[in-house]
Amino acid sequence: MRAAFCLSLLIMAMAPAGTASFAQSSSPVPATDGATPMPSAIGAIDVSGEDGTLRIAGRIIGLSAGEYEGRITIEKSGPSGRINTAQGGTAKLAAGETAVVATTSVNASAGDSLSVRFVVQAGGHEIASAQVLTQR
């Protein structure tokens, strides 16, 4: 039970400055009119921890210029308590630009389960997502 949570913390400890990033990109969705392709981006989850507090951020990396909306959803349960929270924001990015659109902190301890999902949309279509899971 404790191993999965500790593995997550081990990954964070190995990353520079005590942080870890998890990213995944899905294929861009074509525009409904077929003439203009949807913007393309990568959604990333940044996690850092100190003294039992995890700081979690949803970051959008624009692969092409566009207006993006990101939403991060967090579910945590275990000995340190239970939370369900969601935050989001928007960013207008040029190709190669990055923006953090959602940040939050949660208390965590050994034995907690954590699920973090970050979804990036453009023009009302999901174009990228990232997910981090730990289990008791």
96 inside domain: yes
Domain membership of residue 32 (yes or no) is: no
Report if residue 76 sits inside a domain: yes
Residue 3 pLDDT greater than 60, yes or no: no
Q: What is the mean pLDDT of residues 52-56?
A: 92
Q: Residue 15 — very low, low, confident or very high, per pLDDT cuts 50/70/90? A: very low
Say yes or no to pLDDT of 53 above 50: yes
Domain range enclosing 130: 2-26+38-134
State how far the Cα of 86 lies from the Cα of 98, in Å rounded to an integer.
Answer: 20
Is residue 33 domain-resident? no
pLDDT at 47: 93
The least confident of 69-73, 77-81, 90-94, 96-100 is 77-81
- CATH number for position 95: 2.60.40.2420
Q: Does residue 31 belong to any structural domain of this protein?
A: no
> Number of folded domains in the chain?
1
Q: Which residues contact 5 (CB under 8 A, 6 or more apart)?
A: 108, 110, 111, 112, 113, 114, 134, 135, 136
Instruction: Determine contact, residues 35/15, Cβ cutoff 8 Å.
Output: no
In a domain, 113, yes or no: yes
> Is 14 among the domain residues?
yes
